[in-house]
Structure 1
Amino acid sequence: MARSSGGRSALSRVMQVFTAFDVDAVFLNISQLSVRSGLPLATTHRIVAEMEDFGLLERQPDKTYRLGVRLWEIACRTPGALGLREIAMPHLQSVQSRVRQHTQLGILEGQEVLFLERLSARDAVVNVTLVGGRLPLHASSSGLVLLAHADDEFQHDVFSGELFRYTEQTVQSPDALRRLLQKIRRDGFAIGNGFIHPDARGIAVPVRGVNDTIVAGLSVVVPNDDAPTLPLVRLLQGASAAITQDLLAAYTPPNDPQSAPGGRFRQLVSSSADSMEYLPTAPRPTRAGR
């Protein structure tokens, strides 16, 4: 791959532009992109123009840029995070219909939990989770169930880093966090009372995938009050088990009786039975450059 005089590959410079955007910086002009990416202004101009040509960035009337729909289109073709979200969505909706607060799905990404989905009621308790946003593992219930099932070396790295304090209740010491993770592994769920906001309680369970690996944390955020938590834990555990069954069916070889219908689409799409049966044979036009 071609490299610049500074030793950075063309792809790495494109990634620097991508990562300049964030959940609180969705529209950026060229100067802001240059500063946030660390690239020279002239280089930023050139790369942004090419990314716009490919639809990876979209130029706005005020001369700012946002991430392009083409990027979302490509991302939707992965059976990874977005495939997991699609398969889990009916079960998130089922939980949300009962809870009527916040229901969310998060995965481990670096030393943070990355949220793939969040369903919320308009009158729900305060919640800082954003779709595509991240939170520290030690502070969120989803992050805690993921961290509790991580290996010792990974946990040690988290213990050695900053344990950011949101409230008086946020876990602050490595020893306290270690004890909490042991409890989560023993109980099979995590509860965070006021860890991120005093009014909010997070409750999470792990979601298992192929080979019994932990692939996600399924959680609700509800008022931090005297309401019993066990019914919500049971609700989440039932939904988690259902997601696991659907994941196993999606990844079972197509000729297996337990395999889900849908052929090559079953790891990307969750739809009606008739739709899944029809998708593999549906006619599709050929698109140039796709």
Structure 2
Amino acid sequence: MRDAERVTDEGRGDVRSVASKIFAIADAFDRPGADALSLTTIAQRAQLPVPTAHRLVGEWVRWGGLTRGDDGLYRVGLRFWMLGVRAPSPRRLRAVALPHLEDLYELTRENVHMAVLDQQSALYIERLSGHAAVPIVSEVGSRLPLHATGVGLVLLAHGGDELFASVLAAQPVKYLPGTMTDEGALRRRLAEIRATGHARSVNEMTEDSFSVAAPVRDHTGEVVAAISIVAHARSSSDARLPLAVQIAGRAISRALGMRAPRD
């Protein structure tokens, strides 16, 4: 059956293409805590009957995109990882940024992140973490909301009016009492981020956490990524952390070819 053909699952009136259903199965793993899923969970998340999900998941397994463990649960396979590391932009960003992120980690011994914009989310492409660092939910490959994370706020501040409107239209979630969701307050906050060159976030996504983030620019001056330090909330008054993350952001930007503007 061709991907372009449209089929209807029995009793469901599902007219999605076969390709759409296959991608829906992949999307089932694209959320926190989705490292290992049962066939039933995959079917529910992909909105497919279990027999259809079983057939398509089998195709994923034969291709190498998914693996099935002895526990009967499915996990993302190495084939996805092999394709992912071939993506030129994130791969180059990681390669250029890693020495500076390692320096930032050695200086602070806190969580250090790098993220890029992916639709309405911050996609984490690098993370360094120590044993004593504050526990956090982010990991490489995960996506977190723009309005509630340090890196996300930087990306949102430099993402333009259309991105801001789309985030508001999606009704941003108030994860913790400190999470900012009001349009007016967010606008003022994003303007401050652009003016100061960094974003601060305290107890907005994770309890007892403080994040300070700065932009990374390419040779054109466009913001292509954001880096952050995430520490315990008690560190929010440490003036050295905003300075350190901004210096690292500028160093990575220079390595990407950005030149400082002339006075």
Question: TM-score, with normalisation over the residues of structure 1?
Answer: 0.79
Paired letter, 2:150:
S
Paired letter, 1:221:
V
2:210–2:235 Cα contact (<8 Å) kept: no
1:24 to 28, 33, 48: 33
Equivalent in the alignment of 2:118:
109
CA separation in 2, counterparts of 1:196 and 1:50?
37
1:204–1:236 Cα contact (<8 Å) kept: yes
Paired letter, 1:192:
S
Equivalent in the alignment of 1:261:
none
Q: How many equivalent pairs are there?
A: 249
Paired letter, 2:234:
D
1:76–1:83 Cα contact (<8 Å) kept: no
2:115–2:225 Cα contact (<8 Å) kept: yes
Could you tell me the percent identity over the aligned residues? 35
Equivalent in the alignment of 2:17:
9
Which runs of 5 or more structure 2 residues have no equivalent in the other structure? 9-14, 259-263
Equivalent in the alignment of 1:96:
105
1:74 aligns with 2:83: yes
2:47 to 38, 54, 59: 38
| SS of equivalent to 1:215 | strand
Q: What displacement does 1:218 show? A: 0.4
1:141–1:204 Cα contact (<8 Å) kept: yes
- Structure 1 residues 158 and 50, CA gap change in structure 2 (3 angstroms): closer
Paired letter, 1:70:
R
* Aligned 1:1-290 pairs, distance under 5 A: 1-6=3-8, 7-21=15-29, 22-225=31-234, 228-248=237-257
- Structure 1 residues 233 and 5, CA gap change in structure 2 (3 angstroms): same
Deviations 1:152-197 (A, max 9, x none): 1221232343232222222131111111111111111111122223
- Structure 1 residues 126 and 60, CA gap change in structure 2 (3 angstroms): closer
Q: What displacement does 1:71 show? A: 1.1
- Structure 1 residues 31 and 195, CA gap change in structure 2 (3 angstroms): closer
Paired letter, 1:93:
E
CA separation in 1, counterparts of 2:110 and 2:59?
43
CA separation in 1, counterparts of 2:187 and 2:236?
27
Which runs of 5 or more structure 1 residues have no equivalent in the other structure? 250-290
CA separation in 2, counterparts of 1:205 and 1:127?
19
Paired letter, 1:193:
V
| SS of equivalent to 2:256 | helix
Question: TM-score, with normalisation over the residues of structure 2?
Answer: 0.87
- Structure 1 residues 178 and 17, CA gap change in structure 2 (3 angstroms): same
